Structure 1
Amino acid sequence: MGRLIELSSIVYRVLYQILSLLVSLFLTPTIFTMISRWPPRLTGRHICPVFSLQKPFMPLGRWSSSGSRWKQRQGRDSYARGAKVQGLKSRAAFKLLEMDSKYKLFKGSGQTVVDLGYAPGSWSQVAVEKTKPHGRVIGIDLIPAQPPRGVATFQGDFLSPDVQEMVKNFILESHRRPPPLQDEGDPENSTPDEAAALDRPSYLDMERHAAQDEVLPLETEAARKRIVDVVLSDMSEPWDQTTGFNVNTLSNPYHRLMNTSGNAFRDHAGSMDLCAAALQFASDTLRSGGHFVCKFYQGSEDRDFEKKLRTLFTKESREAYFIGLRRKPNVTIEP
């Protein structure tokens, strides 16, 4: 009997070590406790050590103090709460709404908007709302993200010339087709006449598209490709992944144009490069009178970029966002 108890005790210790290893690998230490008395009290149906569940199972990883502080700030942030209530992807939507209220970026139905670095999609949501029912909203981002309803998206590195060319061709092709209908109503409950009326462009839209199709004798091929009304850019500098697992579907998008590195000089230099790339894209695609919005990180190169904005636009504003209003006709920026 003594040898049996001793053998059982050894088996128990081995199992306990294995279980501890699994806990350290996959679960947080506070998930459950184990009654370590051996042998257990064999009362009723209890014939093995008892496990007491204290918290639901958690994914791999440790609690982050910075993540906890971010969640606390989000809970106290009225804009973050408002975004959640209104079904917006993030609080950044309110900043774009504020800029639109001040500078009148969007003119109504039928506009074409390109959102560079669209994820998670709050600016694209605002663009869809401001340009419906016949607007076109195109988003580009490096990470995979569920696009908002009514947004055509590309996953790719915007700094790649091939990706930019693909987006430009898509924009041109989309203007050869009837504009999409973005309506919040239920098409199943609408009558055929109502559906036809909703799908029919207004006379102003038809006149506008007819004017777009007119080719002036002195107009160049490059000028005919400038059919975008608003270019939005909310991109930041990517950097190498230093934590987490190396899984291609997650690691490659980690080189995301979204977060800052904590190094002010590096963030500023990277954001200026991205702003320059976005401005060059706007120079190639933005129609005369179109608008440009670009987020940036303040630093020594702001003034140089501001000079380029003054070259291309009749008015500009600088508030951690560069805003170029009313593009000048027959002016471009050389790469």
Structure 2
Amino acid sequence: MTVVDLGFAPGSWSQVAIDLVRPGLGRVVGVDIIPVAPPKGVNALQGDFLSRDTQERVRELLKDENAGRVHRHELIKEENNTDPSYLDQDLSKLDLNMTGKAHRDKCIDVILSDMSAPWELASGYHHRSISNPYHRLMNTSGNKFKDHAGSMDLCRSALYFAFDTLRVGGNFVCKFYQGAEDKQFEKQLKSLFSKVHRDKPESSRSESKEAFFIGIQRLSSAEQDRVFDEGG
């Protein structure tokens, strides 16, 4: 199983993902514009995901089915594992079935996107509260229109990437800030996935516009023109 975590810093989602997929049987690749050490067992790529070069680096990494995996013998030595569980066996079968060009291109099982548009740097690096990227992890400006528009750009970028790389039956989770464009984006998701849910976490403040779209089971019949028809 392959999980890609977009905007993974500081690494909470990647940590949960690597615990679930088990290194050696699955792999987790985190991508973020912020340089940060990933959780143990997670592969990390630094770059702006809106850049085609960054997306191509992710694709090239994933084309190698062994890239990003901790070797099985290393896990046995570290954890003193004995016989693999039924879940381990199922995941192994899934990975062994990922052969052929179509599967190499569409080799991701889950895409997680927690990306937020970074603030513009203040003039002069003495403004450390804003210019330091580690202080910009929440990345909300207070301008609801700006936050919404920025999040929609990132969501659409993640969706284009998902269309090209997410296997049939794969799942997609995307953070966004609610606004005028999210209905159209939800319609696009419904053209690509069997089920689409909109969720606002209980931990999110009532006045916050933060929410998540969850796309379940990518459809085999989804057509690019229909999914990305902005006017329809």
Q: Could you say which TM-score interval applies, normalised by the shorter chain?
A: 0.7 to 0.9
CA spacing shift, 1:189–1:328, aligned 2, 3 Å: closer
Which residue is 2:58 aligned to? 167
Which residue is 1:207 aligned to? 93
Matched, 1:115 2:5: yes
Which residue is 2:168 aligned to? 288
Q: Quick check: 2:61–2:67 contact (8 Å CA) kept in 1? A: no
Unaligned runs of 5+ in 1: 1-110, 216-220
Which structure is higher in RCO with an 8 Å CA cutoff and minimum separation 6? Answer: 2
Corresponding residue SS for 2:145: helix
Q: Measure the CA separation in 2 of the matches of 1:137 and 1:123.
A: 10
How far does residue 179 in structure 1 lie from its aligned partner after superposition? Answer: 4.2
Structure whose residues are more often strand by fraction: 2
CA spacing shift, 1:148–1:140, aligned 2, 3 Å: same
Which residue is 1:141 aligned to? 32
Q: Quick check: 1:142–1:257 contact (8 Å CA) kept in 2? A: no
Matched, 1:318 2:160: no
Supply the RMSD in Å over aligned alpha carbons: 3.2
Q: Quick check: 1:117–1:257 contact (8 Å CA) kept in 2? A: no
TM-score (norm 2): 0.78
How far does residue 207 in structure 1 lie from its aligned partner after superposition? Answer: 3.4
1:304 maps to a residue whose letter is Q
How far does residue 144 in structure 1 lie from its aligned partner after superposition? Answer: 1.1
How far does residue 240 in structure 1 lie from its aligned partner after superposition? Answer: 1.2
Q: Quick check: 1:132–1:181 contact (8 Å CA) kept in 2? A: no
Unaligned runs of 5+ in 2: 200-210
Residue 180 of structure 1, aligned match among 60, 64, 70: 70
Which residue is 2:206 aligned to? none
Q: Where do 1:238-253 residues align within 5 Å?
A: 238-242=118-122, 245=125, 251=131, 253=133
TM-score (norm 1): 0.56
1:209 maps to a residue whose letter is D
Q: Measure the CA separation in 2 of the matches of 1:183 and 1:146.
A: 24
How far does residue 205 in structure 1 lie from its aligned partner after superposition? Answer: 4.0
Which residue is 2:155 aligned to? 275
Which residue is 1:298 aligned to? 178
How far does residue 180 in structure 1 lie from its aligned partner after superposition? Answer: 2.3
1:328 maps to a residue whose letter is L
How far does residue 242 in structure 1 lie from its aligned partner after superposition? Answer: 1.5
1:307 maps to a residue whose letter is K
Structure whose residues are more often helix by fraction: 1
Q: Quick check: 1:158–1:164 contact (8 Å CA) kept in 2? A: yes
Corresponding residue SS for 1:296: strand
CA spacing shift, 1:183–1:314, aligned 2, 3 Å: farther
Q: Quick check: 1:135–1:182 contact (8 Å CA) kept in 2? A: no
CA spacing shift, 1:296–1:202, aligned 2, 3 Å: closer
Q: Which has the larger radius of gyration?
A: 1
Q: Measure the CA separation in 1 of the matches of 2:13 and 2:88.
A: 26
